[in-house]
Amino acid sequence: MLEPVKLKVASARMLTETVRQLEFVRGDGGALAGYTPGAHVKFSLPAGERSYSLVDFEPVSPGSGVDRYRFAVQLEAQSAGGSRYMHDLAPGDEVLALPPGNDFALVAGRPGLLIAGGIGVTPIISMATALKHAGTPFRFHYAGRTSAAMAYRDELEQAFRDQLVLHFDDKPETALNIAGLAASVGAEEHVYVCGPKGMIEAVKSAMEAAGVTPDRIHFELFASAAEQSGDRAFEVEVHSTGEVFEIPPGKTIIEVLEAGGVELVYDCQRGDCGICQADVIAGEPDHRDVVLSDSEKDAGKVMQICVSRAKSARLVLDL
């Protein structure tokens, strides 16, 4: 079992009006664990666990220690306490966190098409850094609402130059052409996308339609699943025991079942890693993940219990 470490804020600065960079060192002054591109750190905050991707403009070796971790945290308008807490931290403050994990790993030695939306750029930066250092070909497309809203824009232009293409929502002529990118993917090229759920789903659909095989499409959803208007309570029956739990609006299946003593295996709690997938014995899921294909969602035989809910009054799950 991974043991948490105490991290201390070494520096903090605003990158945009809503994005804050935080650098942490180990609270006891020791070396921090290394990691691979695309990795994240899970923080233990008063509002619960929150994961943030590590940002690197210099390559990091997973086998050696590092002196600090860097993150960029966007303040969410409807923050439930995670991003607000991170924005309120000051140099010298300490917080507990687990060693880095990675659900969004880079495939070494293969060319990459990197696509980032908004704050989803953070793990993509580390991937671009690693690919550039290894001499592996890559393309980097970064989309944002406006130029001013894009974190690290100047640093990215300097670091990646011709490999970087910027897209601004307020300049239609620069719009991200997802279908065009899908049509351009090479036979050995892997696709990595991180950003809002709508962008991820659009990229996945376009890539699959263009014949890019699923093993070459990698994604990470850079947000927790939001509660939706009209959400209602439903029941979950654990097939092996017959136990029945009510899942109210604002609570996930994982949260309710764990509180009821059911042992579950999960990680991201965003609907993008697939670890919490459960078989559906009966009932109709309301799929809100980005893991399953359209055909898998239509079949309704499996679901991601960290974010998805139910359209039926009860789900019977094999957990």
DSSP secondary structure, 200-216, as one string: HHHHHHHHHHTT--GGG
Q: What is the overall mean pLDDT for the chain?
A: 93
Pair 40, 102: CB distance under 8 Å: yes
pLDDT value at position 80? 64
Does residue 226 surpass a pLDDT of 70?
Answer: no
Tens of pLDDT, residue by residue over 45-56, are 998 888 999 999
pTM: 0.83
Separation CA 274–CA 214 (nearest Å): 14
Could you tell me which of 229, 219, 227 has the C-alpha nearest to residue 198? 219
Q: Which fold has domain 112-221?
A: Rossmann fold (3.40.50)
* CA distances for 247 relative to 36, 81, 157, 235, 310, angstroms: 36, 22, 47, 6, 9
Q: What is the pLDDT of residue 125?
A: 98
Whether the Cβ atoms of residue 62 and residue 34 lie closer than 8 Å to each other: yes
Q: Which helix (H) or strand (E) holds 125?
A: helix 121-134
Buried b (16+ CB within 10 A) or exposed e, 20-34: bbbbbbbeeeeebbe
**Radius of gyration for the alpha carbons in the chain, expressed in angstroms and rounded:** 20
| pLDDT digit string, tens, across residues 229-267 | 778 999 999 999 999 999 998 889 999 999 999 999 988
Nearest CA among 43, 50, 39, 55 for reference residue 104: 39
Query: What value does the mean pLDDT take over residues 15-38?
Result: 96
Q: Cβ distance 284 to 310 under 8 Å?
A: yes
- Give the residue extent of every domain in the chain: 5-97, 112-221, 234-318
**How many angstroms separate the Cα of 286 from the Cα of each of 130, 166, 244, 303?**
38, 35, 18, 9
- Biggest CA-to-CA distance, the chain: 59
Is the pLDDT reported for residue 212 higher than 90? yes
CATH code of 5-97, in short, is 2.40.30.10
Domain 234-318: homologous superfamily in CATH: Beta-grasp domain (3.10.20.30)
Separation CA 158–CA 259 (nearest Å): 49
Q: What is the DSSP letter of 16?
A: S
CB atoms within 10 A of CB 167: 18
Cβ-contact 116, 142 below 8 angstroms: yes
